[in-house]
Amino acid sequence: MTMMATECLLELCEQRHELEDYQSGVPRWCTGCGDNAILAAVQRLCRDEGLRPEKTVFVSGIGCSSRFPHYMRTYGFHGIHGRALPVAEGVRLARPDLTVFVNTGDGDCCSIGAAHWIHAIRYNMNMTVFLHDNQIYGLTKMQASPTSPRGTKSNTTPRGSTLEALQPLSVTLGVQNVSFVAQAVDWIPESLFEIVKAAYHHQGFSFVRIVQRCPEWLPKVWDPWLHDPKRILMLDHPQGMQVSDGLKQVYKNQLAHDPSNLDRAREIASDTDRIPVGILYRNPEVPCYEELRATPGLRTTAKLKQGLEAELDKFTFWPQ
């Protein structure tokens, strides 16, 4: 018996997707790479939130982290170096019905893509951005990135990098219209998932810096924080992320931080001795650029058909 079109649509909307429905291929990241933990958290989010693969898109630039769309069974756009954010903004403007994620690295976002990063914060378009920060160019075989600590020896800085590292949290919190800033680490999967989830539910530009390990080129750079739980500062607040009892037993250094306090968020972000984990800032009142520019009726089915026919008619040979 043939189903009615409306019944087919209802069945599609009510369909539950399993974790495997979002998995595509076998990740080629190195064993122990933090990208694997980020992928697991995001795929779990897609399953738990019931995101429809045909309504979800992942955009990336160039780098190890930017292979992310290849491992998601959704729509994806693997762009060029540093241009993930403007591509994602174009997707949001053209298809506001899609859920948009961006995966970018410390070199991709903070170097060649820095100007796009700054203005994307200003636009505050509704998308979730994950900065995979391992403090090194991994795909191009160990070159210093903007977030590499001073003194980092690499193929481009054999005597050690000269400049102090750029701090992504401080930069983001200093831009006008910032609306959501959080930080996670790849070795605490529980908080990583909760932060990813909170970023997804925020209406606006959600920026999540994820401290991740690179076992190939900087295998020990995060060891002081990994092996000393006291150097992890867990941010706990009813309006932010609430730390579970299990994590409190391990990470005893906790701070009750109200994420609506921008000045305090900037102070916390400037602490380079400890790694703050949680939501530093959230302001749901900042307007989204695509809503300010919304033109009702511009992209209706009739308008799209009219536009396509007008273009195709330019090349149509009508019979005499």
Residues of the chain with pLDDT under 50: 1
Q: In CATH, what class is 22-214+221-311?
A: alpha beta
Report which of 18, 105, 100, 12 is spatially closest to residue 57, judged by C-alpha positions: 100
Return the pLDDT at 12: 54
* Model pLDDT, residue 49: 97
